[in-house]
Structure 1
Amino acid sequence: MKSTLKITVVLIMLISIVSCNKKTRRNYQYMPNMYESVGYEAYQESDAFANGVEAQLPVEGTLPRGYSLYEIEDTNEGYEEAKATLKNPLDSTQVDYEKGGPLYGIYCAICHGNKGAGQGHLVKTEKILGVPSYADEGRAITEGSIYHVIYYGKNSMGSYANFMSEEERWQVVAYVEKLKADLEKK
């Protein structure tokens, strides 16, 4: 008797579940805003603020998108201008090779090598070719040219402006200058 009752209850449950599922009509939506969200346009007028656009104005003192604090352009003329005029704003007391060295190791040594001789891992495995030493005779690199190349990139080297802050880029420039001096001593 108990087993017949159990079988009957299970059959009734299965029939009710199957009978409620009708493929030709939509199921119930208990929270329709999650299925069909209200569309808002960017910068549309809103009555949420007193003057209508308060939330859409930039905060005072912020920089607009696309604005660069580094004002020398990414052109050959800009490179030459940076090479001739740009100087490291960090004085000798602010230069910290303990900061610049690890940053150089992370971002630069893979191609330029740990000593700046142009023999990094990617060069040795021939993934990238033509990375010269910092001390090559034909390479008159300066603080400005190093910073410009870090900021914009050059040839197959990409920009590292998004990876390092301005102060970190100048620390790397100082470290590259140190490596160049060490290579020229040899």
Structure 2
Amino acid sequence: MKNTLYTALIFTGILILASCQDKREPNYQYMPNMYEPVGYEAYDEVEWLPGGSMALLPAENTIARGALPYGLENTPEGKELSRALTSPLDSLNREENLAEGAALYALYCAICHGPKGDGQGNLVKREKILGVPSYADPGRNINVGTTYHVIYYGQNAMGSYATQLDEKERWQVSEYVMKLKEDLTQ
């Protein structure tokens, strides 16, 4: 009889506590910041920055560490000026640079330009895109500088690969394209 009485009292107490809870709001918040986050806008005034100023912007005319600006414009004149560019990569590591350029070319370029640079990639064979010329076409007067320029800015239907490839990788792919051109013309 005592067990039944204790069980009934405990059950009644639980019901009373449960009936007091408001289901629309939690009763206790042990970590309120997890329930009610504080959001900051990127360039708003905030009290915790020095002087309450806006978020600090990079200084004018600065360049990110490790990045150099290309310097030539995306114009036909800029492309003509790129003919004078030469690869800054170390010629002692030519085989290593060509191997890395081949791997990057296979990843980014071969789907359209073909693994041999003959313009017969998978997308061309399946007629998804048309008009990808061979690197050996006599009308295509390309060199390592113009190839770098096209990789940087894109041309015609080809978009820019400047965000996918860093500067060294762009030069490696450009050198590999020149090797493909040599192989096709022989």
TM-score by length of 1: 0.76
Q: 2:91 corresponds to which residue?
A: 92
Question: Is this contact kept in 2: 1:87–1:144, CA < 8 A?
Answer: yes
Question: Is this contact kept in 1: 2:79–2:149, CA < 8 A?
Answer: yes
Amino acid of the residue matched to residue 77 of structure 1?
Answer: E
**Number of positions where the alignment pairs a residue of Structure 1 with one of Structure 2:** 180
- 1:1-186 alignment to 2 at 5 Å? 1=1, 4-5=4-5, 8=8, 11-12=11-12, 15-23=15-23, 27-38=27-38, 40=40, 42=43, 44=45, 56=56, 58=58, 63=63, 69-82=69-82, 84-90=83-89, 92-95=91-94, 96-185=97-186
SS at match of 2:172: helix
For 2:90 and 2:26, the matched residues in 1 are separated by 71
- Note closer, same or farther for the CA distance 1:102–1:153 as it changes in structure 2 (3 Å cut): same
Shift of 1:182: 0.9
SS at match of 1:127: coil
For 2:25 and 2:136, the matched residues in 1 are separated by 76
Shift of 1:118: 0.5
TM-score by length of 2: 0.76
State percent identity of aligned pairs: 54
Amino acid of the residue matched to residue 149 of structure 1?
Answer: V
Question: Is this contact kept in 1: 2:45–2:52, CA < 8 A?
Answer: no
- Note closer, same or farther for the CA distance 1:3–1:159 as it changes in structure 2 (3 Å cut): farther
For 1:25 and 1:143, the matched residues in 2 are separated by 66
The more displaced of 10-19 and 126-135 is 10-19
What's the Cα RMSD here? 3.3
For 2:68 and 2:160, the matched residues in 1 are separated by 14
Residues 21-66 of structure 1: CA distance to partner in whole angstroms, max 9, x if unpaired? 32566643333333334455647475665x887x93759xx6259x
Shift of 1:6: 7.4
- Note closer, same or farther for the CA distance 1:15–1:125 as it changes in structure 2 (3 Å cut): same
Unmatched segments (≥5 aa) in structure 1 = none
- Note closer, same or farther for the CA distance 1:4–1:129 as it changes in structure 2 (3 Å cut): farther
SS at match of 1:93: helix
SS at match of 2:91: coil
